Amino acid sequence: MTEKAYTINDIKAVILVGGRDFKRCPVATRLSRALWPVAGRPVVQLLIEQLAAQGVRKFVLCCDSHADDVPGSLDLPADLDVRYIEQAVPRGTAGSIRDAADGEELLCVFSACTLSPPDMHAALNEHLSGQADMTVFFNPVQSMTQPSGEIRFCICGPAILEHIPKVGYCDIKEGLIPTLVIADNPPRGAFLPEPVDNFIQWRQYLTAVWRTLEKAQTESLPEGFCPAGTDGAVWAGRDVQIHPSARLCGPVLIGDNTCIQAGAAVFGPTQIGTNVRIGPNAIVENSVVWDNARLGRNSHLRRCLVDYKRRIPSGVMLCDSLVARPLGLIKQLTAPIAMQAKRLTHRPCRSRQMVETLADCLAQRRAAVLLIGLTVLLLGVLTATYWSPTILDLWRIWLRSDEYSSGLIVPFLALYILWARRKSLMDCPIRPALAGAAALLAAQGVRLFGLYFMFASAERLALVLSVGAIVLLVYGWRFFWRFAPIFLFLFLMLPLPNRAESMITMPLQQYATVSAVYSLETIGYSVIREGNIIRIGETVVAVAEACNGLRMLTAFFVISGFVVLITDRKWWEKGILLASTIPIALLCNTVRLTLTSIAFTYVHTETLEELFHDFGGLAMMPLAIGLIVFQLWLLKVLFNPPESVEHQVLLSRNTQ
């Protein structure tokens, strides 16, 4: 029995660090639980500081051989007597007590994952009043039917060492306590006035962190942090960047050099480590994010633990998840980009496989170099192999042919559309598809067919098909479907095959002549039509093949296609706009021929006639654009009523 009158100075705290949790918890396998951060410090350091504040000056940390990183990770005051014991062979909780003892002091045994130690003076008095060699403390009883059965900590006198073997493994619950009962010296049990928080599982860790942050609202400010924003329950470290449009609702703790970007929302209790980046419109609820993590735009975390250096892809929703990094270099290199994610709904979360988005890949140097390098390499090889004669022939056609001169600007417009849609493409998941390799081989087959049978149009078609195949190969199906409208737009730079052009040229020429004659007769001119020749009195106007309207048709398709791809309208509105391209082109060509025929009745010099002829064609472009804009306005007026002003409430809190 304990007879000496001990004081707080006679207490030695024995902290059981233990080893790493092999295969059961990926985070604990890599990082000892004693070093999991709480309020910016390892949990074991927080425990030592709280005990030291109550007067305890002696500490022994019992670590196994896999916890050798603990001593170098702690920053403790120099006036504390801290000793480390590294156990090559596990000694158990009771064996660690014997290894730590070296005098007549009392030994208080704690788990390293204890966040809130009890009042040591009250615990010491409770132990001394019981006149037992060992006192085991439990959390308060929650109910009569559910008493607390977990030992939170214990206090042992030096006489307890007689019942612990000097070598071998010995546990407190299964070894020491039964031995004391047999020796007719049973330990005494006592309940704590306030619960002690400690954890083993990662969900228990989240709960312990939440309680620590909630206590900080009414107690002291976490060391090294200062209030941030208007909410007093938000604390930030040094060099923290919070966008003005971001919303934070405490308690929230933000580590040094962290960046919270536009539109992001953080709801407490939440702890964010150092050098963390939370992307635009990302949401973090009741979670813990460790150092150097990256959260993509539009991602959503609820009750999650995010490991060090973990990257959450854009658009991913996670609920009740442990997001750990792959272990080992080989696993990091061979692990698929996909991660197991859980959709955040009101129903129970169901896991689904997600892949990293383009933005996430570009944020990683190795992935960005590989992705951009492979794309540039394949497009460079494609350009080199198709340069002569395919690309050079296209260039000559664009410069010499009036019908297909608009194809020259199609690649540049496609690049602009690609840039305008960059946000949507950045959020698209990336997964290379082997089907792209098959599509690339098929495109080369089309080219070989054109080379063998001397079909230049097949070679040009193969060029565009190869571009789409490369996108599919490098970026995958989901990215390809978002790229598909731009891919289809690229076909507008190709001239029509000769057979197709000859099939539509003659009907277009006849329609242009008939419509011009009808327009002239409508406005009062006496007109005679002879084939494709129009006679207005003494003036003869020949509707040549170049005036059939094919040039306007191709140019207007480029314009309308560009407008469709850069405007945000419903699919059926875009369909109407595209379908109206043909009547608009035919109408503009009819107006041009009508005005040209009238002008020729007043102009009789060849130079002026040619100048007016060319100017009339250019003047139709603004008319076509005006008709397209008018269509967009009319569709908006008819089918899109004015939007009512809505007020969106981000968060509602009952302050009563």
- Enclosing H/E stretch for 441: helix 435-453
C-alpha–C-alpha distance, residues 313 and 364, integer Å:
12
CA distance 36 to 645: 47
**Domain end among 434, 468, 492:** 492
3-state DSSP assignment of residue 368: helix
Residue bearing the bigger pLDDT, 415 or 532:
415
Work out the pLDDT band at 444, boundaries 50, 70, 90. Answer: very high
Which residues lie below 8 Å from residue 328, measured CB to CB, with a gap of 6+? Answer: none
Residues 115, 176, single domain; the answer is yes
Residue 46 neighbours by CB distance under 10 Å: 21
Element (H, E) at 85: strand 81-87
502: buried, middle or exposed (CB in 10 Å: 19+, 13-18, 0-12)? exposed
Contact assessment for residue 313 and residue 339, using Cβ atoms and an 8 Å cutoff: yes
**pLDDT score of 337:** 41
Domain count, the chain: 4
Query: Given this model, what pLDDT does residue 258 score?
Result: 92
pLDDT (mean) for 438-446: 93
pLDDT in tens, 523-535: 888 788 877 788 8
- Which residue bears the tokens 């076909």? 491
Tokens of 514: 């008939």
pLDDT at 345: 36
**Domain's final residue, options 446, 466, 492:** 492
Q: Which residues are within 8 A (CB) of 440 and not within 5 positions of it... i.e. 6 or more apart?
A: 466, 469, 470, 473
How does pLDDT run across 567-589, given as a tens digit for each residue?
Answer: 888 888 888 888 888 888 888 87
Do both 397 and 513 map to the same domain? no
Q: Supply the pLDDT for residue 612.
A: 53
Q: Say whether both 217 and 332 belong to one domain.
A: yes
pLDDT at 85: 85
Please say if the pLDDT value at position 59 is more than 80.
yes
The residue type at 596: T
Report the CATH number at residue 24: 3.90.550.10
Q: Is the peptide bond before 140 cis (omega within 30 degrees of 0)?
A: no
DSSP 234-251: EEE-TT-EE-TT-EEESS
Residue 465 has pLDDT above 90, yes or no: yes
In this structure, are 408 and 448 located in the same domain?
A: yes
Q: Are strands 300-302 and 283-285 parallel, antiparallel or unpaired?
A: parallel
**What pLDDT does 377 receive?**
93
Q: Which of 249, 259, 304 minimizes the C-alpha distance to 279?
A: 259
User: Parallel, antiparallel, or unpaired: how do β-strands 317-319 and 300-302 relate?
Assistant: parallel
The predicted pLDDT at position 286 comes to 92
Backbone angles phi, psi at 266, to 5 degrees: -125, 120
Q: How far are the Cα atoms of 170, 373, 501 from residue 94, in angstroms, in the given order? A: 5, 59, 92
Alpha helices in 491-549 (DSSP H): 498-522
Tokens encoding 538: 């003494």
Spatial contact of 190 and 138, defined as CB atoms under 8 Å apart: yes
Residue 614 within any structural domain of the chain: yes
Indicate the burial class of 34 (C-beta count within 10 angstroms; 0-12, 13-18, 19 or more): buried
β partners of residue 447: none
DSSP character at residue 305: E
Q: How many whole angstroms separate alpha carbon 200 and alpha carbon 353?
A: 28
In this structure, what token pair is assigned to residue 350?
């169901």
Question: Both 103 and 117 in a single domain?
Answer: yes
Query: d(Cα 272, Cα 258) in Å, to the nearest integer?
Result: 8
Residues 87 and 148 in one domain: yes
Least Cα distance to 269 among 222, 312, 217, 325 occurs for 217
222 inside domain = yes
Question: In this structure, is residue 334 part of a structural domain?
Answer: yes
With respect to residue 415, please indicate whether it lies within any of the assigned structural domains: yes
d(CA 597, CA 542): 9
Q: Are residues 483 and 504 in the same domain?
A: no
Paired with 235 in beta bridges are 227, 253
Across the beta sheet with 539-542, the strand order is: 527-530, 533-536, 539-542
Residue 515: give the domain boundaries.
498-639
pLDDT at 236 over 80: yes
Please tell me whether residues 471 and 407 are part of one structural domain: yes
Question: Does a structural domain hold residue 650?
Answer: no
162, 191, 220: which is the final residue of a domain? 191
Where are the extended beta strands (E) located within 481-633? Answer: 527-530, 533-536, 539-542
Q: Give the integer Cα–Cα distance in Å for 36 and 255.
A: 14
Kindly tell me if the per-residue pLDDT of 646 is higher than 90. no
Residue 647 lies in a domain: no
Question: Which two structure tokens, joined as six digits, stand for 134?
Answer: 């060992």
The pLDDT tens digits for 252-266 are: 999 999 999 889 999
Range with the lowest mean pLDDT among 217-231, 427-441, 550-564? 217-231
Assess whether 161 and 222 both reside in one domain: no
The answer to whether residues 257 and 272 belong to one domain is yes
Task: List alpha helices for 454-493, DSSP H.
Answer: 456-475, 477-490
Does residue 510 sit in the same domain as residue 433? no
Name the nearest CA neighbour of 251 among 271, 281, 222, 265. 271
pLDDT in tens, 320-333: 888 887 654 334 43
One domain for residues 393 and 435 = yes
| Residue of higher predicted confidence among 37 and 19 | 37
Residue 414 lies in a domain: yes
Q: Is 391 left (phi over 0), alpha (psi -120 to 50) or beta?
A: alpha
**Phi and psi of 252, rounded to 5°?**
-135, 130
38 falls within a domain:
yes
Cβ neighbors of 211 (< 8 A, separation 6 or more) are 115, 116, 197
